[in-house]
Chain A
Amino acid sequence: MTAAHRHPAPDVWRRWVEDPSGPGGAELEAHLARCENCRTLVDGLRLAGPARRVEHWEEAPEDLVRAVFARTAERAPARPARTRAVPYEPLDIRGAAIVGGAGTRIASRSLEGGEIGVFVTPPAGDGTWKIRGKVWLRDEALADTDLRLVLAQGEHVLASTTTRSGRDFVLEEVLAPGWQLELHLPTGEVWTLEDPEHE
Chain B
Amino acid sequence: MAAADRFSDADLLGRCGACDEDAWRLLVRRYQNLVYSTAREVGLDGDEAADVFQEVWLELQRSIPRIRHPEAIPRWLIVATRRLSYKVATRRRRLVPGISRDLVDPGTLPDAEIEAKTARARIEAALSQLDGKCARLLRLLFLDPANPAYEEISRQTGLAIGSIGPIRSRCLNRLRKILEENS
**16 contacting pairs across A/B (C-beta < 8 A):** A11-B147, A47-B172, A50-B112, A54-B37, A54-B116, A54-B120, A58-B36, A65-B29, A72-B57, A73-B21, A127-B101, A152-B66, A155-B63, A156-B66, A157-B63, A174-B86
Q: What DSSP secondary structure best describes chain B's contact surface?
A: helix
Contacts from B to A (Cβ < 8 Å): 16-17, 19, 21, 24-25, 28-29, 32-33, 35-37, 40-41, 46, 50, 53-54, 57-59, 61-69, 76, 79-80, 83-84, 86-87, 90-91, 93, 101, 104-107, 112, 115-117, 119-120, 122-124, 138, 141-143, 145, 147-150, 153, 161-162, 165, 168-169, 172, 175-176, 179
Contact between B149 and A37, CB atoms less than 8 A apart: no
A68 with B57: in contact, given A50-B115, A174-B87 (CB under 8 Å)? yes
By a CB distance below 8 angstroms, the chain A residues around B19 are 76-77
Chain A residues whose C-beta falls within 8 Å of the C-beta of B165 in the assembled complex: 37, 40-41
B176–A47 CB distance below 8 A: yes
Give the number of residue pairs across the A-B interface with Cβ within 8 Å.
181
Which residue from chain A places its CB closest to the CB of B21 in the assembled complex? A73
A186 → B minimal CB distance (Å): 18
Question: Which A residues are CB-close (under 8 A) to B76?
Answer: 155-156
List the A residue with the shortest CB-CB distance to B42: A56
Residues of B within 8 A of A75 (CB): 61
Q: How large is the interface on A (under 10, 10 to 19, 20 to 34, 35 or more residues)?
A: 35 or more
